[in-house]
């Protein structure tokens, strides 16, 4: 799998190609300082100083780069990403700006998923030198986390089943000396009945399980992180049509976000007692599959009538959130590719955020905005709880009406989060359908850095 290699390095004055950043206003003055031949080169490349535009300008027997950005004084995460994708292999430095947040885009712009390409046709690395040595590790850690999400989501479902997710949790636990417990088989059926029910139709080598990783000083506040690990979502007996199933390898995207966030928390040695929960299943079809009309008894004791086997994520999360609540956490954060409705409401670039407490929601939204990873809040309206009423059980897993699908799924989860606990739920798409600079088509972190920065601020000091 790809590595966020050292694509950024402290600037020790070695030879590097200069990148001059301009915007439409400063471009004119900049061009005046060039030779007629250099101006002709810019003209020939139709360079006007617009965002994501760049041009190669000859100088002596070498060249420099001019690139348009909105504001050279304060760079956004993505403003250098296209350069990092398209410049020739080599070593670069910014001539008139601090890279800052753009370090993230510089690295993610060079992400490629080449695991299944017989021949790696991608270009060699473009290395960025920066004087901001103290900031490199932080941005590299975030980029590494983003690479991890993308690698996990991009992997085909046969190679990223519950066992592979378990192996990823094991790797993470080893790297940070955390304890990992994995619950499978009869214990899973006993202790996490909804995880077992959803995953029980899968082939033996994709048997369902729940990973629980614990790290940190037990006297620190408990942070619980939970991720939906549906390694493939066929819909179950309520089978999805081909178009709806095509991308469902990404239905473990929530688990990928949770793992990446846990890696950031442990890597930064945040002062928390971390509990990571990853319920991992394949929502498959066989004679043993759970059915519409079945009633499951959850870990919490609540009975759930299955209205639709395709609303499976909330079932496995329900048991995991119950277990997370048993740790009496200071905060629970979950990530899930939970509903198509969230994507209909907000599109693929904005994850939906739901939270019990306004203050917590606002802290997460602000962190997202500040780090070019915006989320949008959706409500958890009391009045819509009735959509989950069941005639024969305590509740149903989906609603008879199509209204407010993302919120109704959030309300389902809310029933399994301990009373009074602070809880944030991300309904994330975990995918880039049409590529943009720094965001190749495929798996993608959405809400990951919003959560990371909010959590870091909450437990700083």
Q: Contact positions toward ligand BES, by CB under 6 A? A: 233, 251, 308, 310-313, 337-341, 343, 398, 405, 429
Closer residue to ligand BES, CB minimum distance, 199 or 437: 199
Q: Does residue 208 interact with Zn ion by CB under 5 A?
A: no
Q: Which of 244, 222, 256, 4 is nearest to 108 (CA)?
A: 4
373 binding partner (options ligand BES, Zn ion, none; Cβ < 5 to 8 Å by kind): none
Residue 182 bridge partners (DSSP)? 211
Q: Which helix (H) or strand (E) holds 237?
A: none
8 membership: H or E segment, kind and range: strand 8-10
CB of 251 to ligand BES, least distance (A): 5
Q: Is 184 a catalytic residue?
A: no
Considering beta carbons, is residue 117 or 246 the nearer one to ligand BES?
A: 246
- 12, containing H or E segment: none
Considering the candidates 9, 39, 112, 240, report the single residue annotated as catalytic. 240
Burial bucket for residue 334 (CB in 10 Å: 0-12, 13-18, 19+): buried
Report the nearest approach of ligand BES to the CB of residue 312 (Å).
5
Binding mask 231-270 for Zn ion (x = CB under 5 A): --x-----------------x-------------------
Could you give the CA distance from residue 178 to residue 58 in angstroms, rounded to a whole number?
53
Structure tokens at 355: 């939270």
313 contacts Zn ion (rule: CB under 5 A): yes
What's the CA gap between 454 and 215, in Å, rounded?
A: 19
67 binds, among Zn ion, ligand BES, none (CB under 5 to 8 A by kind): none
* Integer Cα distance of 161 and 165 in angstroms: 6
In a 3-state reduction of DSSP, which class is residue 231?
strand
Task: Pick the closer one to ligand BES by CB: 69 or 153.
Answer: 153
Compare residues 125 and 340 and give the one whose CB is closer to ligand BES.
340
Q: Is the CB of 21 or the CB of 316 nearer to ligand BES?
A: 316
Task: Give the residue nearest to ligand BES (CB).
Answer: 340
The whole-angstrom separation of Cα 51 and Cα 49 is 7
Cβ atoms < 10 Å from Cβ of 107: 28
Active site residue 369: no
Name the catalytic one among 93, 300, 314, 415. 314
The CA dihedral of 347, 349, 354, 355, to the nearest 10 degrees, is -160
- Closest approach of Cβ 409 to ligand BES, in Å? 7
31/250 Cα distance (integer angstroms): 47
| Residue 341, binding choice from Zn ion, ligand BES, none, Cβ under 5 to 8 Å by partner class | ligand BES
- For residue 60, the minimal CB distance to ligand BES (Å) is 53
> Rule CB under 5 A: which residues touch Zn ion?
230, 233, 251, 310, 312-313
Give catalytic residue positions.
240, 314
């Amino acid at each position: 799998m790809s590595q966020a290699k050292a694509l950024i390095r402290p600037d020790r004055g070695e030879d590097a190609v200069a990148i001059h950043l301009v915007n439409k206003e400063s471009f004119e003055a900049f061009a005046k300082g060039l030779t007629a031949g250099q101006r002709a080169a810019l003209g020939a490349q139709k360079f006007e100083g617009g965002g994501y535009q760049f041009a190669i300008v000859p100088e002596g027997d070498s060249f420099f780069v001019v690139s348009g950005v909105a504001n050279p004084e304060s760079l956004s995460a993505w403003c250098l990403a296209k350069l990092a994708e398209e410049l020739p292999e080599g070593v670069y430095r910014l001539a008139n700006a601090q890279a800052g947040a753009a370090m993230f885009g510089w690295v993610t712009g060079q992400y490629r998923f080449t695991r299944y390409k017989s021949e790696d046709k991608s270009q060699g690395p473009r290395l960025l030198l920066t004087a901001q040595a103290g900031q490199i590790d932080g941005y590299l850690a975030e980029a590494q986390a983003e690479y991890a999400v993308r690698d996990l989501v991009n992997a085909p479902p046969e190679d990223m089943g519950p066992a592979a997710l378990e192996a990823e949790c094991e790797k993470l636990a080893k790297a940070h000396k955390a304890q990992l417990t994995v619950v499978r088989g009869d214990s899973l059926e006993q202790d996490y009945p909804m995880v077992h029910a959803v995953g029980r139709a899968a082939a033996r080598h994709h048997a369902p399980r729940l990973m629980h990783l614990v790290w940190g000083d037990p006297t620190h506040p408990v942070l619980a992180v939970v991720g939906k690990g549906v390694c493939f979502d066929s819909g179950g007996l309520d089978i999805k049509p081909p178009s709806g199933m095509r991308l469902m390898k990404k239905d473990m995207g929530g688990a990928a976000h949770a793992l990446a966030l846990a890696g950031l928390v442990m890597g930064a040695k945040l002062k928390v007692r971390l509990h990571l929960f990853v319920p991992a299943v394949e929502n498959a079809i066989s004679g043993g599959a759970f059915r519409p009309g079945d009633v499951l008894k959850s870990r919490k004791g609540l009975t759930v009538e299955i209205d639709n086997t395709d609303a499976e994520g909330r079932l496995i999360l329900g048991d995991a959130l119950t277990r997370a609540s048993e740790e009496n956490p200071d905060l629970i954060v979950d990530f899930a590719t939970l509903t198509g409705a969230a994507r209909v409401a907000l599109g693929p670039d904005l994850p939906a955020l739901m939270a019990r407490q306004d203050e917590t929601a606002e802290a997460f939204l602000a962190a997202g905005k500040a780090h070019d990873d915006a989320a949008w809040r959706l409500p958890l309206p009391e009045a819509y709880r009735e959509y989950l009423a069941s005639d024969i059980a305590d509740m149903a897993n989906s609603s008879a009406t199509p209204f407010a699908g993302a919120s109704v799924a959030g309300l389902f989860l809310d029933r399994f989060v301990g009373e009074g606990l602070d809880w944030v739920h991300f309904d994330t798409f975990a995918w880039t359908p049409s590529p943009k600079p720094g965001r190749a088509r495929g798996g993608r972190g959405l809400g990951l850095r919003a959560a990371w920065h909010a959590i870091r601020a909450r437990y700083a000091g």
